[in-house]
Every structure is written in C-alpha cells, then in structure tokens.
C-alpha cells in the first residue's frame, strides 16, 4: 500500500486515541501567539530561535521541563479555548471519533489559577466539539509524579469538588524516576472509591518494577507506555491474563531514548504477538512531531505490522477504553462499517 493510500484509508477508519496530552496538542501557531504575547518586541527570527530552544531535550526529564515551559506561556484559563481548537483540528485530521485525553493542571494551579475556571473551559470546549463534529472527548486529570504526594492529593481534592461528566478519571504522568508509584497509592484508592478510573504512565523511564507497582499498588486499569515489560516474562504474562491494556506511543519512546533505540526494535511487536492488549497512540504530537496516523504508518513501515493487524490494534483502542459496553459496541459497529 502506498503512503497516500494508507493515510486515506486509515483516516476514514473510525479510531480512538487513549494516550494524548491536551497541552501537547497545541499547534505551532498557538505557541507562537502565546510566546509573542509574553515576550513582546521580538523579531520573527528571535522568536523562532527562542521557541526552538524550548524544544531541545534528550530524555524524559528534559522533555518534562520543555512541557512546563510551554505551560508557562499560558496567561489564563481562556487560553484553553485555543488549545481545544487545536485538539479539534488534530482529531478531525486523524479520523479520531473518541479520545481519552490527559489534562495536567498542576503547573496552572501553582500559578494561582482557579481549578473550577479550568474545568469550566474544559467542559464548554468538549461539549462544543461534540456538537460541531460528533467527536467524543473524555478527560483524565494528571495528578503527576513530578510534584510529590501532596500536590497529587490536592489535584484529586480539587477534582472531586469540581466533577463534571466529561472528566472520568485520573492519570499518573510526569517524572517516573522522581515519583515512584507507591507514593500515590492513597490518591489512587480514593479516586476509585469516588468511581473515577485510574491509569498510570509506567515502564517508560524505569524498569518493570515500576509497572508492577502501578498495577499492584496503584491498581491502574491501564498502563501508559509499559515498554520495560519486555524485560520481564512474568509481567507480560500477567498483562495478558489480567487483560491490562498498554497505551503504546512508539515515537515518544524513541525520543526519550530510554528503552527503545529505533522504531524497528520497538517491543510493541512482541507485546502484540504475546496477546497483550496493545493500543497505538501519539502521546505529545507537538513535541515529538508525530500524529496518530503517522504512528499507524510507522507501525506498518518500520515495525512490520500488516494492515489487518493494525485494524485489530485500532479496534483494541475501543476495547481498552473506558466507554460503557454499549458505547464500545456502537463504536466497533461503526468501525466494521
């Protein structure tokens, strides 16, 4: 299949994406606008070079610093209107009909923003996108490994005071080395007791023990990345037996350079062969220069999946989602059509 044929046929295939960070779907145009608003009087060349500096990193912690630098450009919760407009364009461009998206409020709350104002913009934009396009978006609030237990507890408290139907759970992102999962056990227990779904990034920057902690201690329903599971046969068997899905983001893993040197060696091939419920995701489109359709193309050309296998992986994203069984059946029926 040629690249053009591949992109056009996979674009019309209705898809879900389960590992996508809201603040990383921001477009270059919006970044540019935010940057020039904050640093007035720069020439175009100066602005380009300063923005390029933000996007220079070579590991997960460097990437997190860049992520925080971009969040620092926001001036008020109304700026999320721009980001959701970019998210809508992204979802349409990639043929995504359902997305579970991470929103990371920690840096904004530290700036003194009111969480309820943020939730209001999330809700308003998600409803508008749904009425304009039919695309359904649900949010997972990142309680974050980066800023410690108290920050995570506070994020959850704020969330519980501001619940809306569009927010369905919490996620644990950020620095895996600085913030081991065991620190966050109570936050996860409490979230589940309030009927929130719980997921965790794990095995992205730390070995299989981090994934074991995420599933045993935090009881995460899905694992973000999970690539270091390749080192642990028993863990891979457990993921199969307990049907714990992995949200795999191949290009992101090559960028952060921890366990994957190049796409051809990505462990998703082994995970799929062993029967782990793997899904394909883009993680941070702006930061890694890759969108969901690109990841399907990469999986086809670099990792060696067949078109039929990629259709199975695309279906997995609905199966592994937090949609109700009826909603899953409806999306899968649309998929088969």
C-alpha span between 230 and 31 (Å, rounded)? 36
- Give the position of tokens 């995460």: 220
Q: What sign results for the dihedral spanned by CA atoms 197, 203, 205, 208? A: positive
Which residues inside 88-127 make contact with Zn ion, applying CB under 5 A? none
In the complex with Zn ion, the residue whose CB is nearer, 22 or 73, is 22
Counting beta carbons within 10 angstroms of the beta carbon of residue 165, is it exposed (0 to 12), middle (13 to 18) or buried (19 or more)? exposed
In the complex with Zn ion, the residue whose CB is nearer, 95 or 174, is 174
| Residue 99 beta carbon to Zn ion: minimum distance, rounded to whole angstroms | 13
The size of the interface with Zn ion (CB under 5 A), counted in residues, is 1
Candidates 146, 138, 145, 141; CA nearest to 156 is 141
| Residue 285 beta carbon to Zn ion: minimum distance, rounded to whole angstroms | 11
| Residue 252 beta carbon to Zn ion: minimum distance, rounded to whole angstroms | 7
In whole angstroms, how far apart are CA 48 and each of 35, 36, 53, 71? Answer: 10, 10, 9, 18
Choose the binding region for Zn ion from 85-93, 142-150, 228-236, 281-289 (rule: CB under 5 A): 281-289
**Residue 295 near residue 15, CB atoms below 8 Å:** no
In the complex with Zn ion, the residue whose CB is nearer, 162 or 245, is 245
283 binds Zn ion (CB under 5 A): yes
Q: What angle do CA 151, 252, 77 make, to 5 degrees?
A: 45
In the complex with Zn ion, the residue whose CB is nearer, 162 or 174, is 174
Question: Among 17, 176, 204, 247, which one carries the catalytic annotation?
Answer: 204
C-alpha span between 269 and 271 (Å, rounded)? 6
Choose the binding region for Zn ion from 2-10, 265-273, 275-283, 285-293 (rule: CB under 5 A): 275-283
Note if 75 is an active site residue: no
Choose the binding region for Zn ion from 60-68, 115-123, 278-286, 320-328 (rule: CB under 5 A): 278-286
Q: Which residue is nearest to Zn ion (CB)?
A: 283
Report the interface residues with Zn ion, using CB under 5 A: 283
**Which residues carry out catalysis?**
204
């Amino acid at each position: 299949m040629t690249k053009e044929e591949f992109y056009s046929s996979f674009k019309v295939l209705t898809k879900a994406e389960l590992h996508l960070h809201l603040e990383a779907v921001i477009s270059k145009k919006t970044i540019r606008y935010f940057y020039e608003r904050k640093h007035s009087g720069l020439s175009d060349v100066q602005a380009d070079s300063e923005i390029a500096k933000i996007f220079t990193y070579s590991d997960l912690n460097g990437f997190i610093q860049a992520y925080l630098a971009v969040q620092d450009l926001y001036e008020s919760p109304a700026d999320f209107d721009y980001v959701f407009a970019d998210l809508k364009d992204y979802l349409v461009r990639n043929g995504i009909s359902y997305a579970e998206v991470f929103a990371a409020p920690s840096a904004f709350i530290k700036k003194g923003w009111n969480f309820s104002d943020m939730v209001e913009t999330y809700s308003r934009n998600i409803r508008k996108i749904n009425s304009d396009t039919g695309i359904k978006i649900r949010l997972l609030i990142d309680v974050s490994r980066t800023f410690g237990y108290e920050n995570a507890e506070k994020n959850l408290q704020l969330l519980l005071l501001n619940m809306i139907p569009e927010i369905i759970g919490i996620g644990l992102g950020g620095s895996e080395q600085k913030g081991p999962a065991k620190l966050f056990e109570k936050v996860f227990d409490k979230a589940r007791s309030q009927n929130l779904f719980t997921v965790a990034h794990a095995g992205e920057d730390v070995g299989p023990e981090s994934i074991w902690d995420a599933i045993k201690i935090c009881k995460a329903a899905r694992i973000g990345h999970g690539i270091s599971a390749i080192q642990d046969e028993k863990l891979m068997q457990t993921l199969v037996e307990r049907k714990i899905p992995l949200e795999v983001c191949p290009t992101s893993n090559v960028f952060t350079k921890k366990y994957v040197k190049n796409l051809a060696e990505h462990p998703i091939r082994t995970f799929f062969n062993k029967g782990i419920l793997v899904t394909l995701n883009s993680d941070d489109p702006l930061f890694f220069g890759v969108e969901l359709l690109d990841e399907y193309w990469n999986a086809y050309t670099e990792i060696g999946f067949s078109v039929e296998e990629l259709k199975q992986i695309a279906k997995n994203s609905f199966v592994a989602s937090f949609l109700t069984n009826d909603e899953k059946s409806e999306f899968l029926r649309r998929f088969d059509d």
